[in-house]
Amino acid sequence: MASGGGGDDDDRQQVVLITGCSQGGIGHAMARAFAARDCRVVATSRSISSMADLDGDPRFHLQELDVLSEGSVKQVVGDVIDKFGKIDVLVNNAGVQCVGPLAEVPLSALQRTFDTNVYGSLRMIQAAVPHMATRKKGKVANVGSVAALTNGPWAGSYTSSKAALHSMTDTLRLELKPLGIDVINIAPGAIKSNIGNSAVSSYNKMPEWKLYKPFEAVIRDRAHFSQGIKATPSEEFAKEAVSAILRKNPPAWFTYGQYSTISCVAYHLPIFIRDFIMRKAMKC
Ligand SMILES: NC(=O)c1ccc[n+]([C@@H]2O[C@H](COP(=O)([O-])OP(=O)(O)OC[C@H]3O[C@@H](n4cnc5c(N)ncnc54)[C@H](OP(=O)(O)O)[C@@H]3O)[C@@H](O)[C@H]2O)c1
């Protein structure tokens, strides 16, 4: 495991803690982009082996972290503060997709989605913010999704969890400002990653749909909707997102990638037009 040293260099360098850094995903690309901007990066994921390519590079400190576990979150945040003396930037990137019609999706799957995407991020924030508040300094970047702007069919568990995260992010930006902490909503468009494969493997464990049996093929297709050939490379997305986060005055909202502009436009359309477009696109 890569580890840090002491000295003046470490005081100058920003310490960035990122969740969900498995190779091939956005978190991993952001870890590399922060390192390229001379940050000390605490890259975390559920298993060290998923970040094996970062091992041995002194710019990275690798830790196992499961955002579903309060114990894991507290331990890693505590260890990072002990080791580096600070956390300058927390990136809540870990997330899971969940595909299935809301009227039939098992509640346990929906709960797990919210536990990861919403409560997982808040677990990290509640662990890191007291430390940032004592320094009156810090940044929290929550990775939401443009999917929460259009709320189409078949992935309602996921889009509603991201909408909840966007809402929490807006509140946190106001509540954490007096503590000296900036909060940034990062809303990726369609970005090349492992999310499609993970979503398909979760989808394969879903029960057979009853009311929605005729829609099985289009529902399944929703699992890898973001992973078409024109999906934005994660490295390109990460470079732009990291630039935005590292600005002295970071933006409240950052979006980039395939479908990001069209989703922002669709958000402002009258609902009947948005529904018409979504029905056509998602075949329902
Ligand atoms: N790719 C897109 O088009 C897109 C669009 C909008 C938003 N996003 C968001 O971007 C973020 C990163 O996703 P991605 O596209 O890079 O997908 P990904 O490649 O599947 O990465 C997701 C990461 O989250 C981790 N994770 C899942 N559950 C976790 C848990 N309980 N504790 C800690 N880590 C956990 C995964 O770990 P494992 O490898 O162990 O599963 C993986 O490292 C997510 O929040 C996603 O919703 C992605």
> For the chain, what are the domain ranges?
8-282
Instruction: Give the model's pLDDT for residue 10.
Output: 59
Task: Tell me the residue ranges of DSSP E strands in the chain.
Answer: 15-18, 40-45, 60-64, 89-92, 138-143, 181-188, 253-256
**Distance separating alpha carbons of residues 131 and 40, to the nearest angstrom:** 17
**Distance separating alpha carbons of residues 89 and 70, to the nearest angstrom:** 20
Would residue 230 show up in a list of annotated catalytic residues for this protein? Answer: no
Instruction: Give the model's pLDDT for residue 49.
Output: 98
Nearest CA to ligand 1 atom 42: 20
Catalytic residue of the set 83, 86, 158, 203: 158
Ligand 1 centre distance from Cα of residue 274 (Å) = 27
Scanning the structure block, which residue is given the tokens 């920003």? Answer: 14
Ligand 1 centre distance from Cα of residue 8 (Å) = 34
Report residues whose beta carbon is within 6 angstroms of any ligand 1 atom.
Answer: 19-22, 24-27, 45-47, 50, 65-68, 93-96, 116, 120, 143, 145, 188, 190-191, 193-195, 198, 226
Ligand 1 centre distance from Cα of residue 4 (Å) = 26
Rounded to the nearest 10°, the torsion over CA 162, 145, 247, 45 is 70
Architecture of domain 8-282: 3-Layer(aba) Sandwich (3.40)
Q: Which atom of ligand 1 is nearest the CA belonging to 29?
A: 16
Q: Which atom of ligand 1 is nearest the CA belonging to 66?
A: 32
Tokens coding 147: 């999917």
Ligand 1 mutation target, pool 45, 76, 242, most atoms within 8 A of CB: 45
Residue 136, by phi and psi: left (phi above 0), alpha (psi -120 to 50) or beta?
Answer: left
Instruction: Give the model's pLDDT for residue 7.
Output: 46
Nearest CA to ligand 1 atom 44: 95
pTM of the model: 0.96
Would residue 136 show up in a list of annotated catalytic residues for this protein? Answer: no
For residue 138, what are the contacts with CB-CB under 8 A and spacing of at least 6?
87, 88, 89, 90, 128, 129, 131, 132, 180, 181, 182
Catalytic residue of the set 83, 86, 139, 162: 162
CB atoms within 10 A of CB 3: 9
Ligand 1 centre distance from Cα of residue 47 (Å) = 13
Q: 206 φ, ψ to 5°?
A: -75, 155
Ranges of the chain with pLDDT below 70: 1-10
